[in-house]
Chains A and B, each alone.
Chain A
C-alpha cells in the first residue's frame, strides 16, 4: 500500500538523494561559513568575537524553543502555539519578578506555565486525536488573549533586577548566562533524545506509529510528553526573550513560531516526523537563520524586507525537506 503512494511521488531521483544527504551532513556548515563570509564582506564587524557572542545571545531564546519543538516534530506533529507561550511566560515572569520573585523562581514558573499549555495541547492531540495544527492554532490565540488579559495592552517592561541578571550575567566571565542556558538545554535535550529509551521511542513513534503501538510502546504518552516538553521549553524561551527585549508589547514574539519551525526544518529536522536531532541539526538551523537576520541588520537592509527573506528561507527549507523525506514509508 504505502509503497504505491511512494511511487506516485515522482520528484525523487537518486542523484538528488545523494546530494541532499550530503547537504544535510556537510552542506549546512558550508552554507553557514558562506553566510559568515558574505556578511563579513558587507560589514567587516560581522566577523568578530563580539558579534559572534552577540549572535549566540540572539540565538538563545529561539534555540531553546527550537529544542522543544524538535520533540513534537519528531513525533510527526506541529506546535504553533509556542509564540504565545513565549509571550505569556515573559509576561508572567516579568510581573512576578517585579513582585519580588527571584531568578530561580522565575525559571520554575516559566517552565511550569509553558508545560501547562503543553499539557492542554498534548491532551487534545494525543488523547483526542484532533489535528495538531488546529489545536495549536486555537491555543495560540487563547494563550495570547489570556496573557494580554493579565497585563492589559500596554507594553510591559522587564527591566528589574532579575531581568538584568538574566541578560548581564556572564558565566565564568565570558559566557553570557543565556548562552549557557541555551547550551545546557540543547545538551539535555539531545541527551534525552539519544541516550534515553524515551528519546528512542519518540523517534519510533514518528517513524511508524502503528508499529510502535503494536510493540507495546505507549504512543499516547510519548506524544503527550513531547508537547509538554515543547511547551515547557517555549516557556523558558519566553523568559529569556522577555528579559532580552525588555519591552513586552502585545505583539511580542508573534510570528516566532514559524521562524523557529523553519529554522529546525532548515537544519534537517523533518516536518514529516522521525528525522533530525537537536544538536547539531536544530542548533545549526537556528544559527543560520539568526545569521541571516543578523547579517541583514548589519548590512542595513530595509527592515520590511526581512519578512520576504524569512518567507523565502522557509520555502527553501521545507522544499528540501519535502524532496528528501516525503513519501518515505518509514
Chain B
C-alpha cells in the first residue's frame, strides 16, 4: 500500500512583495498516483505550479524531490529533474511540425542537426504509445485543440517525465478527446508516473484522482485526503468555506425599467445562446468558473470581441453597430478583467487615465483642452475614490498599488456617469480595504440608477452585493438565482454543471 514518495512539499510559502500568495502549503505525491488539486480562482494553484516549475523562486519552505532537496532556479531545472507541465495555454509552436515540437529542446543537448526521419520515427513511437494517430510530420496549426494537448503530453513523455502537472487540461477538449486523455492518465499512473491534476471540473477530479488537496487563499484546507474518504459536498464546502464577513454592504435599491437586454448571443463554442436582462439600478452578478465564457460574454456585448449572432437592446432600442466607441457615447462602461493591458495606460499619469473616457467633455472651444477642468475633476475623483497618490498630474499609474490602480479604472468610467456598467473581476488583486470601497462604489452607482453587470469568480462578494446572480457553465447560462436563493453550494453546483435551471424546478416540485 505504501508507495514511494516522489515529491514532498513542506511549509511552502510565496510572497509577492507584501502579498502572501502561498502560505504553508504541505502535501506529498506518491509514485504512480494522481493528486487532485482544487480551489477557486486565485487560490494559489498556478503560483504553486510556477514555484515548483522554477518560474518564481519560493520565499520559504522545503521541497524534496525523489528524496533530494529540490530548488529550481529556472524552468530548465524542473525539466531536467523530470517534472513536466501541461499548461492551460499550450506552449507549442504552431509553425513547426508535431515531431519538431516534441523534440525542440534537443538542440540544447548540443545536437546541431536533426534528421526528419529519425525524429518522425521517434515521435510516431511515442504517439503510438499514447495511442494517438497523429501524423508527426503535420504542422501543429492544423491540429484541433485536443490534438495539440496530446502533443503537449507527448512532449512530457519524450522528456521521460516522472511527474506531470496538468493545469485545467480539459477546458478546450471535446468529450471524446477528454476520454482519451483520461485513459492516458490512468495508463501513466500504471507505469509509475505521478501526476498532479488541477481542475475546476470536480467530477473529473473525483473520478481520476487517488488523493485530493484543497487550496484556498494560498493555504491547504484540511488534510490531503484519499478520494474515497471525502464526498463531493465536503470538497465544495472546503473550497468555499470562507466566513461571510461584514464587508459586503447590501442596500435596497429602486429597480427601474430594463436598460439592457441581451438575446441569443452566440459565439463559436464559447457562448451558446445567452439571453438576459438588466434593469436600472440593479446589480446582477455573473458567476462561473474559469473558461465558462463570462469575460467573453462581456467583450461580446461591448464589441471588443466579435459575436456570431445575437441581439442587444439598450434603453429599449436595438443596438445595430456594436463597438466600444458607440457604447461610451451611449453612457455604457466596461471595466475589464485585464487591468494592465486593457484598463490603464500604465506609462501615463493618474489624471490622464482618469479623463481618458471623458476626453471629449474636456474640450473648450475648438477642442482646446481645458486643463484647469482636468485638474479639477481629477482631484475631485481622486478625493472621492480615495485614490492614494502623491501627485495626480504626474505620478504614473504603474507606480500605484493594485487597489489604487483599480480605483483609477473605476474613476475613469465614473466620469462618464454611466447608465450601464460591466465590471469584470473588479476586485482581483486588490487589498481588503480597497475591495470594500469598490463595493461601496458599486452600490452607489446602482443607487443612482445605473444597471450593473458584476462578473466575479468570488462567490462571497456576489452573494454580498448582488440583487440577482446569473451562473454560466460552458458558454451557457445554467441558472439564475434571486437574492433569497443565494447559497455558495447552489452557486458552485450550477457553475460546475451539476445543476441547471430545468433540474432546479424539478427539485422544487419534489420539495
Physical contact A–B (CB less than 8 Å) = yes
> Digit string of B304-317 for contact with A (CB within 8 Å is 1, else 0)?
11100000000000
Residues of A within 8 A of B92 (CB): 208, 211, 330
Residues of B within 8 A of A274 (CB): 93, 95
Question: Distance in Å from the Cβ of B76 to the closest Cβ of chain A?
Answer: 4
Q: In chain A, residues 38-65, which have Cβ atoms closer than 8 Å to a Cβ of chain B? A: none
Question: Distance in Å from the Cβ of B83 to the closest Cβ of chain A?
Answer: 13
Is residue A197 within 8 Å, beta carbon to beta carbon, of the partner chain?
yes
A216-B108 in contact (CB<8A): yes
Closest residue of chain B to A275 (Cβ to Cβ) is: B95
Is residue A22 within 8 Å, beta carbon to beta carbon, of the partner chain?
no
A197-B104 in contact (CB<8A): yes
A208-B107 in contact (CB<8A): no
Which residue of A4, A8, A195, A197 is within 8 Å of B106 (Cβ)?
A197
Residues of B within 8 A of A212 (CB): 93
Residues of B within 8 A of A4 (CB): 299, 304-305
Residues of B within 8 A of A215 (CB): 75, 91, 104-105
CA distance A4 to B96 in the complex (A): 24
Is residue A206 within 8 Å, beta carbon to beta carbon, of the partner chain?
yes
B95-A195 in contact (CB<8A): no
Interface majority SS (helix, strand, loop, mixed), chain A:
helix
Question: Distance in Å from the Cβ of B369 to the closest Cβ of chain A?
Answer: 28
CA distance A206 to B94 in the complex (A): 11
Question: Distance in Å from the Cβ of B440 to the closest Cβ of chain A?
Answer: 30
Question: Distance in Å from the Cβ of B13 to the closest Cβ of chain A?
Answer: 24
Is residue B79 within 8 Å, beta carbon to beta carbon, of the partner chain?
yes
B107-A200 in contact (CB<8A): yes
Is residue A217 within 8 Å, beta carbon to beta carbon, of the partner chain?
yes
> Digit string of A202-242 for contact with B (CB within 8 Å is 1, else 0)?
01101110011011110000000000000000000000000
Question: Distance in Å from the Cβ of A230 to the closest Cβ of chain B?
Answer: 19
Question: Distance in Å from the Cβ of B324 to the closest Cβ of chain A?
Answer: 10
Is residue A7 within 8 Å, beta carbon to beta carbon, of the partner chain?
yes
Is residue B319 within 8 Å, beta carbon to beta carbon, of the partner chain?
no
Is residue B233 within 8 Å, beta carbon to beta carbon, of the partner chain?
no
Question: Distance in Å from the Cβ of A295 to the closest Cβ of chain B?
Answer: 33
A206 and B95 in contact, given A196-B112, A196-B114, A197-B113 (Cβ under 8 angstroms): yes
Question: Distance in Å from the Cβ of B503 to the closest Cβ of chain A?
Answer: 32
Is residue B2 within 8 Å, beta carbon to beta carbon, of the partner chain?
no
A197 and B93 in contact, given A4-B304, A216-B75, A216-B108 (Cβ under 8 angstroms): no
Question: Distance in Å from the Cβ of B308 to the closest Cβ of chain A?
Answer: 11
Q: In chain A, residues 262-276, which have Cβ atoms closer than 8 Å to a Cβ of chain B? A: 274-275
Max count, chain B CB within 10 A of own CB: residue among A194, A197, A207, A330: A197
B306-A217 in contact (CB<8A): no
Which residue of A10, A197, A203, A275 is within 8 Å of B111 (Cβ)?
A197
B93-A195 in contact (CB<8A): no
B112-A197 in contact (CB<8A): yes
CA distance A215 to B76 in the complex (A): 7
Is residue B116 within 8 Å, beta carbon to beta carbon, of the partner chain?
yes
Is residue B74 within 8 Å, beta carbon to beta carbon, of the partner chain?
yes
Q: In chain B, residues 72-113, which have Cβ atoms closer than 8 Å to a Cβ of chain A? A: 74-76, 79, 91-96, 100, 104-108, 111-113
Closest residue of chain A to B113 (Cβ to Cβ) is: A196
A200-B104 in contact (CB<8A): yes
Is residue B338 within 8 Å, beta carbon to beta carbon, of the partner chain?
yes
Question: Distance in Å from the Cβ of B86 to the closest Cβ of chain A?
Answer: 13
Residues of A within 8 A of B106 (CB): 197
Which residue of A1, A198, A208, A217 is within 8 Å of B341 (Cβ)?
A1
CA distance A8 to B96 in the complex (A): 26
Which residue of A7, A198, A207, A217 is within 8 Å of B95 (Cβ)?
A207
Closest residue of chain B to A270 (Cβ to Cβ) is: B95
Is residue A201 within 8 Å, beta carbon to beta carbon, of the partner chain?
yes
Q: In chain A, residues 1-56, which have Cβ atoms closer than 8 Å to a Cβ of chain B? A: 1, 3-4, 7-8, 10
B305-A7 in contact (CB<8A): yes
A211 and B116 in contact, given A197-B111, A200-B104 (Cβ under 8 angstroms): no
Which residue of A198, A203, A204 is within 8 Å of B112 (Cβ)?
A198
Closest residue of chain B to A197 (Cβ to Cβ) is: B107
CA distance A43 to B91 in the complex (A): 54
A211-B114 in contact (CB<8A): no
Q: In chain A, residues 167-218, which have Cβ atoms closer than 8 Å to a Cβ of chain B? A: 194-198, 200-201, 203-204, 206-208, 211-212, 214-217
Closest residue of chain B to A215 (Cβ to Cβ) is: B105
> Digit string of B51-91 for contact with A (CB within 8 Å is 1, else 0)?
00001000000000000000000111001000000000001
Supplied contacts A204-B104, A207-B93, 10 more A-B pairs, CB within 8 Å: A3-B305, A7-B306, A10-B306, A197-B107, A201-B104, A215-B75, A216-B74, A216-B79, A217-B104, A217-B105
Interface residues of A (CB under 8 A from B): 1, 3-4, 7-8, 10, 194-198, 200-201, 203-204, 206-208, 211-212, 214-217, 274-275, 328, 330
Q: List 29 A-B contacts (CB under 8 A).
A: A3-B305, A4-B299, A4-B304, A4-B305, A8-B304, A8-B305, A195-B113, A196-B107, A196-B112, A197-B104, A197-B113, A200-B96, A200-B114, A201-B104, A203-B95, A207-B94, A207-B95, A208-B91, A211-B91, A211-B92, A214-B55, A216-B74, A216-B76, A217-B105, A217-B108, A275-B95, A328-B94, A330-B94, A330-B95
Nearest 5 pairs of A and B residues by beta carbon:
A197-B107, A216-B76, A330-B94, A207-B93, A204-B93
